[in-house]
């Protein structure tokens, strides 16, 4: 099994899907001749040409809508939006057209479009380049939302998303493109629904997604070694629809839950997971579920303040210790 970086895994998925189906195209700002800001489309322009690897103008709502319109006629566009902050400009087309068209046409029309975009807090990018907006996308009926935490998922989720007949939003992370991990050598399609147990444990479940899975895994090691607490880590790679059964199964096993998200707490992934736990696992609980979330501020430029704004591994450890009175 080869080790690939996150960006290499995404690039491989693009390449294979474009080779498989001449109606798969990719489009976005600088993704063609320049190979993409995060190299996710590197080399594809030379291989597939300007008609299929499209450098778009800086017009996010326009080109996202164009991709959606093309998808009505069977084209399978993979749209890269360079930063999730810019994706805000495309929300009208993504939410009002792609997510609703199957329903409002009574099932006649579908928009099999993939929109990929990195979010998250990287290195001193300031408030307008450090958004974590997955919680907004996951609230829209008709849109699937997935968020890979490793190269295997990044590869397999994109492969499945391209072939799925629903619009899929893939939330990537600016800090993860150089993360290395094993990706199967053979073709692999990752399910678009469900969750994965990233670490088995019996005492508490740490729910994470994308980068926060890694924080959870690190926190679990510390908790095990220093405090004798065995945490299970559940990777919620699918944010919409959320894996209710998976959440139920793990909480049913550990009876405690901590949800770790890089975004601010209000109306977030954490509040949604807590609501599910409350609705479906209330009588399983030995303690009230807890969220570890970001401060409710626009992300500051100053590095110290920036690190202070988002959760750290220590915050996860502290939250669990508090839950156990340790």
Partner 1 sequence: MNVADKKRLLREMLFARRFEERCYEAYVERKIGGFLHLYPGQEACAFGVMEAARPGRDYVITGYRDHVHAIKCGADPKAVMAELFAKETGCSRGRGGSMHIFDVEHRFMGGYALVGGPFPLAAGMAKAIKMKGDDDIAICFLGDAANNQGTFHESLNMAALWDLPVLYVCENNLYGIGTRIDRSTAVVEQYKRVDAYGIPSAQVDGQDIEVVFKAAQKAVKHVRSGKGPYFLELLTYRYRGHSMSDSNAYRSKDEEKMWSKRDPIIMLRDRLIEAGEITKDDYKAMDTEILDQIEDEIIAHAESSPEPKVQELEKYTLAENDPWVRGGRN
71 binds partner 1 (CB under 8 A): yes
DSSP state of 317: H
Q: Is 85 a binder of partner 1 (CB under 8 A)?
A: no
Using CB under 8 A as the binding rule, whether residue 155 contacts partner 1 is answered as no
Site for partner 1 in 88-127 (CB under 8 A): 92-93, 96-97, 101-110
Q: Is 231 in the site for partner 1 (CB under 8 A)?
A: no
Looking at the Cβ atoms of 238 and 265, the one nearer to partner 1 is: 238
Task: Pick one of 2, 3, 34, 165: the residue that binds partner 1 (CB under 8 A).
Answer: 165
Using CB under 8 A as the binding rule, whether residue 151 contacts partner 1 is answered as no
Query: Position of tokens 């901590």?
Result: 258
Residue 72 vs 324, nearer CB to partner 1: 72
By CB under 8 A, how many residues form the interface with partner 1?
51
Contacts of 99 (CB under 8 A, 6+ apart): 111, 140, 141, 142, 143, 167
Residue 141 makes contact with partner 1 by CB under 8 A: yes
* By CB under 8 A, residue 32 contacts partner 1: no
210: contact with partner 1 by CB under 8 A: no
71 or 205: whose CB is closer to partner 1? 71
Taking CB under 8 A as the criterion, the residue among 163, 248, 255, 312 binding partner 1 is 163
Q: Which of 4, 25, 133, 239 binds partner 1 (CB under 8 A)?
A: 25
Q: Interface residues for partner 1 in 176-195 (CB under 8 A)?
A: 189-193
Q: Which is nearer to partner 1, 73 or 283 (CB)?
A: 73
Hey, how many other C-beta atoms are within 10 angstroms of the C-beta on 42? 18
Q: Which of 20, 39, 43, 66 binds partner 1 (CB under 8 A)?
A: 66
Residue from the set 15, 16, 21, 166 that interacts with partner 1 by CB under 8 A: 166
- Mind telling me the catalytic residues? 60, 129
| Interface with partner 1 (CB under 8 A) | 23, 25, 51-52, 56-57, 59, 61-75, 92-93, 96-97, 101-110, 141-142, 144, 156, 160-161, 163-166, 189-193
């Amino acid at each position: 099994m080869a080790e690939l970086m996150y960006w290499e895994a995404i690039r491989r998925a693009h390449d294979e899907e474009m080779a498989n189906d001449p109606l798969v195209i990719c489009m976005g700002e600088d993704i063609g001749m320049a190979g993409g800001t995060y190299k996710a489309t590197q080399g594809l322009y030379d291989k597939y040409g300007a008609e299929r690897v499209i450098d778009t103008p800086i017009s996010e709502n326009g080109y996202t809508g164009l991709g959606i319109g093309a998808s009505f006629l069977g084209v399978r566009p993979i749209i890269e939006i360079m930063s999730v902050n810019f994706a805000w400009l495309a929300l009208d087309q993504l939410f009002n057209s792609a997510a609703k068209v199957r329903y409002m046409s009574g099932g006649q029309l579908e928009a099999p479009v993939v929109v990929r975009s990195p979010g998250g807090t990287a290195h001193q990018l300031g408030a307008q380049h450090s958004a974590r907006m997955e919680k907004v996308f996951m609230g829209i009926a008709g849109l699937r939302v997935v968020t890979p935490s490793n190269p295997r998922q990044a590869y397999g989720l994109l492969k499945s998303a391209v072939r799925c007949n629903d619009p899929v939003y893939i939330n990537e992370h600016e800090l993860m493109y150089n993360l290395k991990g094993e990706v199967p050598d053979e073709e692999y399609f990752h399910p678009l629904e469900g969750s994965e147990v990233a670490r088995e444990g019996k005492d508490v479940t740490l729910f994470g997604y994308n980068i926060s899975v890694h924080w959870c895994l690190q926190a679990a090691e510390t908790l095990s070694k220093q405090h004798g607490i065995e945490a299970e880590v559940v990777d919620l790679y699918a944010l919409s629809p959320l894996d209710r059964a998976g959440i139920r199964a793990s909480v049913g096993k550990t009876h405690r839950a901590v949800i770790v998200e890089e975004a601010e707490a209000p109306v977030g992934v954490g509040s949604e997971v807590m609501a599910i736990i409350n609705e479906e696992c209330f009588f399983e609980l030995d303690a009230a579920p807890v969220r570890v979330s970001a401060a409710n501020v626009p992300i500051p430029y100053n590095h110290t303040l920036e690190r202070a704004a988002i959760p750290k591994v220590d915050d996860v450890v502290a939250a669990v210790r508090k839950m156990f009175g340790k």
